[in-house]
Structure 1
Amino acid sequence: MELIKLIEQTAEGLGYEVVDVEMSPRGRLLRVFIDKEDGINVEDCADVSNQLTRVFMVENFDYDRLEVSSPGLDRPLTKLAHFARFAGEQIQFKLRVPAAGSQRNFRGLLRGVEGDDVLVETDAGEQRFAFADIEKARVVPTF
């Protein structure tokens, strides 16, 4: 079974959403970012970490260190549903391939989602980006 699907099934079975999974180049460090509607606390991270440790033993997945945490204030936006959920927030993102004018990095107010497109109000006005073209995106926290 694919590792990310295994992680998602395990976390979702405990009532959590997997926001993102990061793995070091050699697969020795595994970071899992989880969330739920009312937020994440240390006990939530410990519960998911303990369950994943057991599952990895059964599946014979070899790793050195597992870190489970909340996505934080500058949470990554990895799914189209995340872009819909965080409409109205400031975001920054990077495109896989430069847009017209050879720009890859953008920052602006997330307006929402329309079909498979993400709508963002940038300095150049409202722009539409295909979700598939977005390489990385994060919420920009405001204090």
Structure 2
Amino acid sequence: MSWLKRVEETVTGLGYEVVDCERSAQGLLRVYIDRLPEGVYDQPGEFVTVEDCEKVTRQLQYTLEVANVDYARLEVSSPGLDRPLKTPEQYARFAGQEVEITLKLAFQGRKKYKGVLESVPAPEGVEGAEPSWQLVYKVGEGKKAVEQALGFTFDEVREACLVPVVDFKGRGRRPAAGDDQAAVDEAQELGDQNK
């Protein structure tokens, strides 16, 4: 069994998701983990905590030692606010959120797009159709801005990641899938007026 498979089995066995793994020539093994929405965790909240990283680190150290995996240093951390999206399942999980994608091939002279990720249902009567996605984004400024949608498949994307939402005053939040966008926009405007 490969070292990557052992890492994935260990992390998922603890109830977390492996977002990414990196292994450097200098012996650094870096593992990015995330909490699953349906998971049960020692610490409250939706984000990875230091305690989560410690728990996974301890178990990985044991597993990798037993498997005789050679590494000099192990780092376990959260994927960060700009969490990469690497699988179709992760796309589905974060549908409705603002993401940034880089296409493999340019479309209309550009490869990078930023907007809200949406799932596009497969056409009726087409068996085995690949899931497709669209990115809804605005072109223009202010009241003259126009929404456009860019349709794509998972295979057409080189990189995708969440767009970080940072609010130090705690008034705003990242809209969740299914939220009424008008209500979220209204709450944000009220928060902006009170600043």
**TM-score when scaled to structure 2?**
0.65
Partner residue, 1:138: 161
Report if the CA contact (8 A) 2:11-2:56 is conserved: yes
Partner of 1:79: 87
Structure 1 Cα separation of the partners of residues 20 and 7 of structure 2: 10
Question: Greater relative contact order (Cα 8 A, min sep 6): structure 1 or 2?
Answer: 1
* C-alpha distance in structure 1 between counterparts of 2:11 and 2:82, whole Å: 21
Displacement of 1:22 in angstroms is: 2.1
CA distance in structure 1 between the aligned counterparts of 2:64 and 2:74, rounded to whole angstroms: 10
Q: Which residue of 2 aligns with 1:105?
A: 112
Deviation at 1:141, TM superposition (A): 1.6
**What SS does the corresponding residue of 1:52 show, helix, strand or coil?**
helix
Deviations 1:68-126 (A, max 9, x none): 1112221111111211121222111222x213334222211112354422211134621
1:61-80 mapped onto 2 (5 Å cutoff): 61-80=69-88
User: Distance in 2 between the 1:11 and 1:27 partners?
Assistant: 23
| Residue segments in structure 1 that go unaligned for 5+ positions in a row | none
Is this contact kept in 2: 1:84–1:113, CA < 8 A? Answer: no
The letter of the residue matching 1:121 is V
Q: Pairwise CA RMSD of aligned residues?
A: 1.9
Structure 2 Cα separation of the partners of residues 28 and 102 of structure 1? 40
Q: What amino acid does structure 2 have at the position aligned with 1:135?
A: R
Q: Deviations over 1:17-75 (max 9, x none)?
A: 11111222x26222111112343211111111111111111111111221111122211
Q: Which runs of 5+ in 2 are unaligned?
A: 38-45, 122-129, 140-147, 168-195
Match of 1:34 in 2: 33
- Answer whether contact 1:83 1:113 (CA < 8 A) is retained: no
> Structure 1 counterpart of 2:116, which letter?
L
For 1:68 and 1:12, the matched residues in 2 are separated by 14
1:7 alignment counterpart: 7
**How many residues are treated as equivalent by the alignment?**
141
Gap change, CA 1:42 and 1:84, over 3 Å in 2: same
Question: Does the 8 Å contact 1:91/1:107 carry over to 2?
Answer: yes
Q: Which has the higher strand share?
A: 1
**Equivalent residue in structure 2 for 1:118, among 121, 133, 141:** 133
TM-score (structure 1 length as normaliser):
0.86
Q: How far apart are the structure 1 equivalents of 2:26 and 2:158?
A: 21
What does 1:53-68 align with in structure 2 at a 5 Å threshold?
53-68=61-76
Find the counterpart in structure 1 of residue 16 from structure 2: 16
